[in-house]
Structure 1
Amino acid sequence: MVYSTDDIVVATSLQSFKYIFASTATFWTYDYACSLHEEWTFLLRSHWSKMKGLYIVTRYLPFIFLATNLYMSVTPNENPAKCRVLANIESGLGIALVILSECFFILRTYVLWNKNRILLAAILCTLFIFVIVSFSVTFDTTVPAAYTTSAIPGITGCHRSSTSHRLFIPFLLFSVFELGLMILTLIRAIQSSRTNPSHLYAVLLNHNISYYACSLLFSVTTVFILLLLQHTYQTILDSFQFTILATLATRMHLHLWQVNRHPHGSTSALVHIPMSDISFANPME
């Protein structure tokens, strides 16, 4: 049987997405297995608080998110309506993961700035505006989108026949938001280095600037992919980025909890800014 060029493009993109989803699930599972001991130590020994609840939701929501992705890619979906429902669920879970992950970075910034409530209010208002715009753009694009399946036997999964370039807007907004948090963190790191004998590099490490930088890098990369690649591959890294953001945020929180349990350990040379009580009554537990 002779297949058209469009059929081959759809089949190739579906296979590429399947590989990306499988790789992302493998990466997340490997990361979870590597940190299993620290994970359960934290879950069993830390006190219950809002931050711990936020950690658990952010850490384990990728299970559902990745399961949805894999289901979309490996299950034959001849029903376009079913594909649309699954795509909307995936989009909602992805945005939820981004918001939950950003909450960790926001609270970290809040603590670094000596719990400045004016700064916190400004950050939260900015995040609220960005989230509303992102929801509007995302669902305005995905809900009316047409979905098809591959005409080639053995190729499963849902394929969006067209993708709007407006999808770059949510990622651009979050790139700007993450850049703002990173700049605020850099300012505090530089101020700390001036009043403390520690090297600036050590201060930057203690302020977890690497987590902010990785988060920003993935957002910027996704923006360029959405703008430069053809629509078939525009959303190829979305799932990977959402999972990475959740991993970075929970890793940062777990590291800070460990540092606060052993404040005189290997990190004693760093400028220690506690984040073990990040709730508003008790700064972070």
Structure 2
Amino acid sequence: MDIPALVASASLLQTVKYINVASGAVLVFDYFQTLGMEVEFIWTSEWSIAKVLFLLARYTAFVDVPMVLYYALAPNVPHRTCHLVYAVSSYSTALGIAFSEAIMILRTYALWGNNRKILIFLLTYLGVIAGPVLVILTFFLRSLRYGEPPLPTITGCYPTEGSIILFADFVLLISLETIIMALTLWIGIKRFRHSHNRLVYTLYRDGIFFFVYLFLISAGNIIVLVAGPPEYVDLLNTFQRVMHSVLSTRVMLHSYLSERSTRRSTEKLAAKEHPDAEFNRTSSIVPGRLSKGMYFTVTSVAIIVLVESGHVSSLYRHENCELSHFSKHHPSYPIGCTHTTPRISYLILR
């Protein structure tokens, strides 16, 4: 390889390193920007599937991203170490993206009113493509060969050979995200287009943004792997991994913020209407029970029922809800809301 070609190759590799470093900076910046919300909403909450997925999607990135930076920037790395570091970071990246997609599956399941068929379908599809993704990744890792950097200014590991088969993983990823997006659009148009509920709007909006951003990154990865120079094999991998972590965890944090905003605004409305009433907040969608006296039962999505002397005197709600049958002769009869919105709050936020 002549000198101009070596300089051009080194320049391309340097671009990849710049993007990897920038991706790491985005991860750290987002972490500290949202740490306060995480402490308030995640650390203090009870353990649940949603909480576990959040922590896995968020903190596995702090395993593989530093390894990628070491792989790209450390001087005089042995070839065996290059293989090991790249393999571990690649499998960690695949798992982290899977956790992020699981959060979006959970969100879609909630938007569909806890439809078990939707959940089973999406989880099955995720499981079906997980096998081929790992097989393709393994073949790609085995195809890598390393050599000595041709110029002393090139730091980190220097791959000399590698297959482009990795693009197939991004095709499979796009297929899953396209299905999730189609289900989100369908239920949004069908059921929530006239909704004024802040939580539903946030889940719907964030889901669309999540899909658009990551679809473009995945498409860019496919184009680079198929048509780009070999030096660009890792151009967008770390960036895509970071954005999966950042966007999926923000979907959950924004859901918490929306729920809190909705609850506070409804409490203010109720307090203004009935300043002498006593508030009884519930942390789940388990219906409250009516009893004599005046009090509020506030669910996690701010469905408020005012009860006075054993009968319903006022009702404030953000969605059309069907209340359980109520008999004034049975003041302790349970009352609640069967609309899907409380289920969304219960699933995503609890």
Q: TM-score, normalised by structure 2?
A: 0.72
Q: Alpha carbon RMSD of aligned pairs, Å?
A: 2.8
Number of aligned residue pairs: 278
Secondary structure of the structure 1 residue equivalent to 2:143: coil
C-alpha distance 197-157 of structure 1, shift in aligned 2 (>3 A): closer
Question: Where do residues 181-200 of structure 1 align in structure 2 (5 Å cutoff)?
Answer: 181-193=180-192, 196=194, 198=196
Q: Which has the larger radius of gyration?
A: 2
Secondary structure of the structure 1 residue equivalent to 2:262: coil
2:19 corresponds to which residue?
Answer: 20
Distance of 1:250 and 1:117 partners within structure 2: 23
Contact 2:174 2:218 in 1 (8 A): yes
1:63 paired to 2:58: no
1:91 corresponds to which residue?
Answer: 90
C-alpha distance 33-144 of structure 1, shift in aligned 2 (>3 A): same
Contact 1:10 1:159 in 2 (8 A): no
**Cα distance, 1:156 vs structure 2:** 0.9
Contact 1:203 1:270 in 2 (8 A): no
2:212 corresponds to which residue?
Answer: 213
- Please list the CA deviations of residues 39-63 of structure 1 after superposition, one character each: whole Å capped at 9, or x if unmatched: 2212343222222122112111111
- Please list the CA deviations of residues 240-259 of structure 1 after superposition, one character each: whole Å capped at 9, or x if unmatched: 00110111000001111222
2:172 corresponds to which residue?
Answer: 173
Secondary structure of the structure 1 residue equivalent to 2:162: coil
1:277 paired to 2:276: no
Question: Where do residues 1-285 of structure 1 align in structure 2 (5 Å cutoff)?
Answer: 4=3, 7-193=6-192, 196=194, 198=196, 205-207=202-204, 208=206, 209-264=208-263, 273-274=341-342, 275-278=344-347, 284-285=349-350
Select the structure with the greater relative contact order (CA < 8 A; seq sep ≥ 6): 1
Secondary structure of the structure 2 residue equivalent to 1:161: strand
Contact 1:106 1:181 in 2 (8 A): yes
**Cα distance, 1:191 vs structure 2:** 0.9
**Cα distance, 1:265 vs structure 2:** 5.6
Distance of 1:14 and 1:217 partners within structure 2: 22
- Please list the CA deviations of residues 177-214 of structure 1 after superposition, one character each: whole Å capped at 9, or x if unmatched: 101100000001001246x3659xx9765413222222
**Cα distance, 1:231 vs structure 2:** 1.7
**Cα distance, 1:221 vs structure 2:** 2.1
**Cα distance, 1:216 vs structure 2:** 2.1
**Greater CA drift, 107-116 or 150-159:** 150-159
Residue ranges of structure 2 left out of the alignment (5+ in a row):
266-300, 303-316, 320-339
Contact 1:78 1:149 in 2 (8 A): no
Residue ranges of structure 1 left out of the alignment (5+ in a row):
none
Contact 2:136 2:165 in 1 (8 A): yes
**Cα distance, 1:23 vs structure 2:** 0.6
Distance of 1:41 and 1:203 partners within structure 2: 21
**Greater CA drift, 208-217 or 230-239:** 208-217
Distance of 2:189 and 2:251 partners within structure 1: 20
**Cα distance, 1:115 vs structure 2:** 1.7
